[in-house]
Structure 1
């Protein structure tokens, strides 16, 4: 079974965590796309959140990883793109539920708020958890309606 392509994007505050998670997935055989930023120099998170949301929405990647200082700003930016469902998570339970119930296709992490081991665990759970569908599918469809 082939692994899904995962796109990564971060601002300067999330640069190091993005690179660490990207390299971790690459080492596990995941195809990855790095949308930047490519240094710790100050940049604007909306630019990277938008790029990630667009890449996932277009199908360039099946999943995305968004990282900024808190995870809040970049997730807001990604969620402005129709077809992108970014979930800010802080632990493996929120990562699992974002997939099971919300069919999230982007995980957002706050580099200043989450430890490296927790971030790795969140990403692993996120990628391994399927969407349950059923009653949740109706609700997720309504998310798409509100984005139009």
Structure 2
């Protein structure tokens, strides 16, 4: 699977660990930055990952900032993006099963590395359940058209 990753300075260290895990699992990684702990503006990197997933350049995305809040707000502005801010395994699994989340967002200052890496595995391995959930996703897409 081709996975786009991005972070700000607060998520940089975790992004590097996520990249290593993704590569170890055999996924192709598109790293949209940032590339150090020097202070940067998170929207720049959130936009890059969201555009890559929305355009199908990447199958899924992973975004990391300090809390995950800013990155999730940025990513969810794009049509077709369902970015899920998750802090534990159950929510991560349900984001895929019921919401067909295509971007996992995590807070690098909120969760530990071991948990984050397990969340990445769950996010990539869990299929979308479809069925009644498909209808609900279409409703969300239709609401965006009304705005």
TM-score by length of 2: 0.96
CA contact (8 A) 1:11 1:42 kept: yes
Distance 1:63 1:136 in 2: 19
Matches within 5 A, 1:1-16: 4-16=1-13
Offset from partner CA, 1:79-100 (integer Å, 9 cap, x none): 1111111000011100000000
Q: Please provide the CA RMSD for this pair.
A: 0.8
Distance 1:51 1:16 in 2: 19
2:43 — aligned with what? 46
Aligned residues: 145
Distance 1:105 1:136 in 2: 14
Offset from partner CA, 1:7-54 (integer Å, 9 cap, x none): 001001001101110111112211110000011111111111111111
1:57 matched to 2:54: yes
Distance 1:147 1:99 in 2: 20
1:139 — aligned with what? 136
1:27 — aligned with what? 24
Unpaired segments ≥5 residues, structure 2: none
Unpaired segments ≥5 residues, structure 1: none
Distance 2:43 2:120 in 1: 22
Distance 1:8 1:82 in 2: 19
TM-score by length of 1: 0.95
1:97 — aligned with what? 94
